[in-house]
């Protein structure tokens, strides 16, 4: 299975980061997100809990029809920067390491053992390369819910990485190590191109944006739920929201479109995602602040 099969979507990516990396202080705070597809009634998707200006936790409803099937992200801070995200239900957590104003690395642990490390490099103030090293693929590849990059890169790239990891886990010995590289190209303080290579694959993503506010700007979380990775257009370094995304892998190409309704502060209150050749199939998110 290729990197892109089953993960046709990518969402918006980084723009110029004026706030300190790891500090999340949105003007409008997300309270709840609802999800709907095929015109169905909307169902609870996420519940965000705050302590003043600081995000304490996010409850994820992983099954829309069984509200007790949930998992929770819990955030730990130092000097207002997030340094750790825990998912106690699955015995996993992420740590973030900084170097001055830059994010240096992200590491994920499963049952207190390192499963994956991401080394992050910059060109000036912009991230231009991320190299992920995955350990013990056969043992750990299909067990994780958290993803260290899920609000740093487009969620669907992160979902792509996670699916690739699961795929590789089925093909590897327990002690094998696998590397994935992500290269970023910037245009006008937005990411215009992402190239992901790993395990013999090459996938190219082209991105366009609106000029409105992204509610996740500055957020570094760990969401790895499939539906949000499939439909949302958010990332923690993005000031704007993605409107068009083109995925290319070999002879395969697909165009994904995102449409929005905004409030008076120019934040999205409704997001609709659809593929250009399947306009009748739509995924919708509703935001409450």
Radius of gyration of the CA atoms of the chain, in A: 18
The pLDDT score that the predictor gives to residue 67 is 52
Tokens 């209150």, residue located = 269
Instruction: Please identify every stretch of the chain with a pLDDT value under 70, giving residue numbers as ranges.
Output: 1-19, 62-68, 137-145, 147-175, 221-238
Long-range CB contacts for residues 40-48, cutoff 8 Å, separation at least 24: 42/284, 42/286, 45/227, 45/228, 45/285, 46/228
Cβ pair 254, 275 in contact under 8 A: yes
Q: Which residues contact 106 (CB under 8 A, 6 or more apart)?
A: 94, 95, 96, 97, 117, 118, 120, 148, 149, 152
Question: What pLDDT, on a 0 to 100 scale, did the predictor assign at position 237?
Answer: 64
Task: Classify strands 54-61 and 178-187 as parallel, antiparallel or unpaired.
Answer: unpaired
Q: Are 253 and 247 in contact (CB under 8 A)?
A: yes
Query: Residue 180 half-sphere exposure, CB side, CA atoms within 13 Å?
Result: 25
151 and 219 Cβ atoms separated by less than 8 Å: yes
Site of tokens 């970023």: 184
Q: Are the C-beta atoms of 70 and 62 separated by less than 8 Å? A: yes
**Could you write out the three-class secondary structure of 225-260?**
CHHHHHHCCCCCCCCCCEEEEEEEECCEEEEEEEEE
pLDDT of residue 230: 41
Partnered with residue 250 across adjacent β-strands are none
Q: So what's the pLDDT on residue 184?
A: 87
Answer for the pair 15, 259: CB distance below 8 angstroms, yes or no. no
Nearest to 169 by CA among 132, 119, 135, 130: 135
Q: Tell me, what's the pLDDT at 239?
A: 78
What's the pLDDT tens digit per position in 239-262?
788 898 888 988 989 898 889 999
Question: What's 88's DSSP letter?
Answer: G
* pTM for the model: 0.81
């Amino acid at each position: 299975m290729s990197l892109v099969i089953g993960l046709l979507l990518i969402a918006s990516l980084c723009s110029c980061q004026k706030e300190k990396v790891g500090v999340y202080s949105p003007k409008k705070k997300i309270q709840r997100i609802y999800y709907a597809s095929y015109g169905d009634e909307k169902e609870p998707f996420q519940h965000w809990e705050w302590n003043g200006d600081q995000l304490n936790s996010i409850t994820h409803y992983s099954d829309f029809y069984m509200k007790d099937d949930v998992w929770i992200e819990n955030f730990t801070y130092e000097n207002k920067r997030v340094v750790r995200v825990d998912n106690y239900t699955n015995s996993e957590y992420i740590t973030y390491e900084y170097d001055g104003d830059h994010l240096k690395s992200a590491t994920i642990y499963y049952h207190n053992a390192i499963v994956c490390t991401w080394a992050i490099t910059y060109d000036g103030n912009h991230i231009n390369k991320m190299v992920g090293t995955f350990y013990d693929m056969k043992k750990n590849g299909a067990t994780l819910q958290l993803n260290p990059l899920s609000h740093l890169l487009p969620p669907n790239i992160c979902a792509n990485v996670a699916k690739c990891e699961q795929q590789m886990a089925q093909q590897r010995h327990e002690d094998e190590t696998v590397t994935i590289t992500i290269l970023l190209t910037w245009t006008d303080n937005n990411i215009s191109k992402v190239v992901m290579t790993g395990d013999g694959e090459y996938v190219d993503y082209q991105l366009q944006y609106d000029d409105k506010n992204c509610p996740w700007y500055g957020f570094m979380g760990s969401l790895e739920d499939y539906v949000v990775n499939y439909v949302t257009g958010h990332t923690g370094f993005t000031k704007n929201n993605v409107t068009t995304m083109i995925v290319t892998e070999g002879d395969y190409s697909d165009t994904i479109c995102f449409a929005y309704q905004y409030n008076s502060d120019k934040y999205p209150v409704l997001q609709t995602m659809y593929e250009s050749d399947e306009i009748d199939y739509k995924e919708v998110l509703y935001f409450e602040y």
